[in-house]
A and B are shown apart, each in its own frame.
Chain A
Amino acid sequence: MTNTSVLRWLCLMGISMVMCMLLAANFGAMPLSMRTLWRAPFSDMTWQIWINIRLPRVLLAVLLGMALAVSGAVMQGLFRNPLADPGLLGISSGAGLAVALSIIIPLGLPPLLALWLPSIAAFIGSLVVTLLIFSFSRMALGNLSRLLLVGIAINALCGAAVGVLSWLSNDQQLRQLALWGMGSLSAAQWPSLAVCAVLILPALMAIQLRARRLNLLQLGEEDAHYMGIDVKRTQRQLLVLSALLVGTAVAVSGIIGFVGLVVPHLMRFCLGSDHRWMLPGSALAGAILLLLADTLARTVVVPAEMPVGLLTSLLGGPWFLWLILRQPRGMNE
């Protein structure tokens, strides 16, 4: 695919994303059309809803969609494996366990720090699991089925640990845990959005700067080394950056699965495997996907709300199955 047609795709996706954002901000328990907003005075309640409820939510969906899709794309590139995904490998649940710990263990932090605490905890949790999985993959255990089994084990362990924690928790903590655990964007407010933006946007930028190096790693570590890449350092940086993305996403929204698996695949199919194009493409497509899923999640069962994590899993589960069945047989050996 030529660079111009890739650019055209990216522009198209950018425009669709902005349009989806405008549309999504109008949908909800109370439909707000652009026209109503235009007519209403700024002090009107409709504006209050739009600015303090709809807009942060839409922006959060965009940010998290980008974070999840790009972290998936980076993991697949690093592991050189199309089935690597933060959720399947247990990285999200590692982050989840850390967040649960931060909810249960009383630290008595000042409010400003308390705002950052879940993100920091989730980052540490996801980083620990990422490094663990990566060292597994570099040992002789590096084949696909082993890797996924390790992911299953980590998922099970973290799930059990979260279970123990919720059993130990008091009523208020339990409620907080349960709400967070369902995978929803309902926590969207300007302060948490700001925390996300400060962590996610620089990480996305830093990853984009390493896209070329990620391309070279596709020939294998040894060849990348011969082509002048500091392999260990690049891998370490990319792992930390994608753990940061996953951790931040999990901290605000709980575990939203499969975005990181589905989107990079679609983008490789549309834009090719060159990470310089595929990463921004994944960011845009991830934003659109999560935006649509979240809008659906909060409008289908009005006035209640469905956890968006449920929706993405409904969409992603069959996709994952199809991917596994489609794998050439040799892949597992």
Chain B
Amino acid sequence: MSDCLQARGLRFSHGSRALIDDVSLSLQPGEMVALIGPNGAGKSTLLRLLTGFLMPESGQCWLGDRPLNDWPREPLAQRRAVMRQQNSVSFPLPAADVVAMGRAPWPASQSKTVIDEVMHLTGSLELAKRDYRSLSGGEQQRVQLARVLAQLWHDDGPRGWLFLDEPTSALDLFWQQHSLRLLHRLTRNGRFSVCTVLHDLNLASLWSDRVLLLHQGKLVAEGAPQEVMNEDTLTRWYQAELDVVIKEGKGRPQIQLRA
């Protein structure tokens, strides 16, 4: 359909090592997808291929009805945003200005209300006046989340594709829950999709509609959390000893490491 992201046969290598090896996937509108996999599986590289920062050696990405490379810059920036693992800024900059940068592809008229709204949603309103550099890692992540939401905010809320690389890595329990609940809720409007790299499998299991498991550049498992997150699959690809627990009635598997 017109609001679907599709990747076919993506390949990317560094030297003689294949980082991404024949990956095909799709992302439906209104879907929240978690990208998981052991260290060095190629999750960040795959994200950069899907977002158009890197060009695949073969294969192609389609965003909606045209190839990713054919999108003009501004319309693409209004539909696709990316939150990376780390951002550093060299000069004093209030957090609100960082969020306002997300409005770069938009005319200035309504930006103020959008900025206020996304900062409110992400709980970063209280950080607005503080220097971004003085914020803790977790606070910076909340501000960055507000920025990428601001970038995709259309008249009727967020639209398009949001890619995140470990958006919760520095967040405490409250903000992990807050941010992922927020993203999950926003995707329910049916026009907004989220694809996020998550290291914490329990978080991935709780909030994603679909899980993609990447291992050495290959997509080795794909499906609902209940399908992918079982002992066999996880032990096989992560090589860790673990138990998978499903609380009765809830249906979402939770992973526990064995001591």
Q: Which residues of A line the B interface, CB within 8 A?
A: 76, 80-82, 212, 215-216, 218-220, 222-223, 225-230, 268, 272-274
Besides A219-B89, A219-B101, A220-B88, 10 more A-B contacts (Cβ < 8 Å) are A220-B87, A223-B82, A226-B53, A226-B77, A226-B81, A227-B101, A229-B104, A273-B91, A273-B92, A273-B97
| Chain B residues with CB below 8 A from A81, complex form | 90
Supposing A226-B77, A227-B105, A229-B104 touch, asked if A273 and B87 sit within 8 A by C-beta, the answer is no
| Chain B residues with CB below 8 A from A226, complex form | 51, 53, 77, 80-82
Q: Which of A220, A225, A227 contacts B102 (CB 8 A)?
A: A227
Main secondary structure of the interface of A (DSSP, over half): loop
| Chain B residues with CB below 8 A from A268, complex form | 91-92
B180 within 8 A of A: no
B141 within 8 A of A: no
B4 within 8 A of A: no
Q: Which of B78, B80, B87, B101 contacts A216 (CB 8 A)?
A: B101
Supposing A82-B90, A268-B92, A273-B91 touch, asked if A222 and B53 sit within 8 A by C-beta, the answer is yes
B224 within 8 A of A: no
B74 within 8 A of A: yes
The list of the 8 closest CB pairs from A to B, nearest first, reads A228-B77, A273-B91, A226-B82, A228-B73, A80-B90, A228-B105, A227-B104, A228-B74
A113 to chain B, nearest CB (A): 41
Can you name 18 A-B residue pairings with CB atoms under 8 Å? A76-B91, A80-B91, A215-B101, A218-B90, A218-B93, A219-B89, A220-B88, A222-B82, A225-B53, A226-B81, A227-B102, A228-B73, A228-B76, A229-B104, A230-B73, A268-B92, A273-B92, A273-B93
Q: Which chain A residue has the least Cβ–Cβ distance from B87? A: A219
A80 to chain B, nearest CB (A): 4
- Separation of A273 and B53 alpha carbons in the complex (Å): 27
Beta-carbon contact of B84 and A223 below 8 Å? yes
A220 to chain B, nearest CB (A): 6
B42 to chain A, nearest CB (A): 17
- Separation of A226 and B105 alpha carbons in the complex (Å): 10
| Chain B residues with CB below 8 A from A216, complex form | 101, 104
B151 within 8 A of A: yes
Q: Which of A223, A228, A229, A274 contacts B97 (CB 8 A)?
A: A274
Q: Which of A82, A227, A272, A274 contacts B77 (CB 8 A)?
A: A227
- Separation of A215 and B100 alpha carbons in the complex (Å): 11
Beta-carbon contact of B53 and A212 below 8 Å? no
Beta-carbon contact of B73 and A223 below 8 Å? no
| Chain B residues with CB below 8 A from A274, complex form | 97
A333 to chain B, nearest CB (A): 12
Beta-carbon contact of B92 and A219 below 8 Å? no
Q: Which chain B residue has the least Cβ–Cβ distance from A221? A: B53
| Chain B residues with CB below 8 A from A218, complex form | 89-91, 93
A330 to chain B, nearest CB (A): 10
B137 to chain A, nearest CB (A): 14
| Chain B residues with CB below 8 A from A225, complex form | 53
Beta-carbon contact of B84 and A222 below 8 Å? yes
B13 to chain A, nearest CB (A): 20
B23 within 8 A of A: no
B98 within 8 A of A: yes
Most chain A CB within 10 A, of B74, B90, B94, B102, is at B90
